[in-house]
């Protein structure tokens, strides 16, 4: 079911898994990797649908946190438990996105199990409940930038089991503005940023080790030190 490739990128060891769709599939991948490898950082890299009006097809969204509106993570912790992305992962991805010149946003995304009614899209025969019709506007008002199916699983289980988790999503359309679906929009940019961000994390980890720190911390007097 899952295909895995391993290698290196600019000094960092990287494994890439094609992991299916949705939180239950992501759980299977995460369980195997966390039980059987020494991997410390987990990223979700893939497509999403824009929910906020300022997000356009082809943009990248880096998750600082994830709304857990899917079912799998509730089996591990209550819904009130926050799915917060690792701050150093967010920093590294944002730096890499900025350096790449790709249009990007940092903020909250939302994961669901349903690709249709949970995102305000009609189901079979146009099926919608009344509360489905306000979902997009409600979440956009709350600052949610985009929606996907896997980021909640990655961020929640990584944080719960002492790993670093994050997500970078390419945006294919926008349901709030009506921007149409663009096949592959932003996908290559998201992959490039994920790789460059991983390489930067590797350098920051080595710098932290050299200073005897548990994690990299910026020096205000030498802001150019990581360049």
Q: pLDDT for 147-201, tens place per residue?
A: 999 999 999 999 999 999 999 999 999 999 999 999 999 999 999 999 999 999 9
The CATH number linked to 44 is 3.40.50.1580
223 falls within a domain: no
DSSP-derived secondary structure letter, 85 = P
Q: pLDDT for 43-90, tens place per residue?
A: 999 999 999 999 999 999 999 999 999 999 999 999 999 999 999 999
Q: How many domains does the chain have?
A: 1
Range of the domain at 206: 3-211
12 falls within a domain: yes
Chain position carrying tokens 């360049």: 227
Angle between helices 151-160 and 23-36 (to 10 degrees): 30
> Which tokens is 51 given?
């929910």
pLDDT of residue 19: 84
Strand ranges, E, within 39-175? 41-50, 60-69, 83-84, 104-112, 144-148, 164-174
217 falls within a domain: no
Q: pLDDT for 80-105, tens place per residue?
A: 999 999 999 999 999 999 999 999 99
184 falls within a domain: yes
DSSP-derived secondary structure letter, 179 = B
- Distance (Å, rounded) from C-alpha 201 to C-alpha 197? 6
């Amino acid at each position: 079911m899952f295909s895995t490739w391993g290698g290196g990128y600019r000094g960092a060891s990287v494994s890439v898994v094609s992991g299916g769709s949705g939180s239950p599939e992501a759980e299977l991948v995460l369980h195997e990797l966390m039980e059987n490898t020494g991997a410390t950082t987990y990223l979700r890299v893939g497509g999403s649908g824009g929910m906020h009006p300022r997000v356009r097809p082809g943009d990248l969204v880096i998750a600082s946190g994830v709304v857990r509106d899917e079912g799998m993570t509730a089996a591990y912790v209550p819904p009130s438990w926050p799915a917060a992305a690792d701050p150093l992962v967010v920093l590294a991805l944002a730096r890499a996105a900025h350096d790449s010149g790709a249009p990007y946003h940092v903020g909250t995304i939302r994961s669901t199990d349903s690709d249709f009614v949970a995102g305000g899209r009609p189901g079979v025969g146009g099926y919608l409940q009344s509360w489905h019709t306000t979902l997009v506007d409600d979440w956009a008002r709350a600052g949610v930038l985009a929606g996907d199916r896997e980021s909640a699983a990655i961020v929640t289980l990584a944080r719960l089991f002492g790993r670093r988790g994050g997500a970078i999503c390419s945006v294919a359309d926008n349901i709030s503005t009506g921007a149409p679906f663009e096949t592959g929009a932003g996908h290559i940019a998201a992959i490039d940023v994920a790789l460059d961000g991983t390489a930067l994390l590797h350098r920051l980890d080595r710098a932290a080790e050299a200073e005897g720190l548990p994690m990299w911390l910026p020096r205000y007097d030498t802001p150019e030190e990581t360049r």
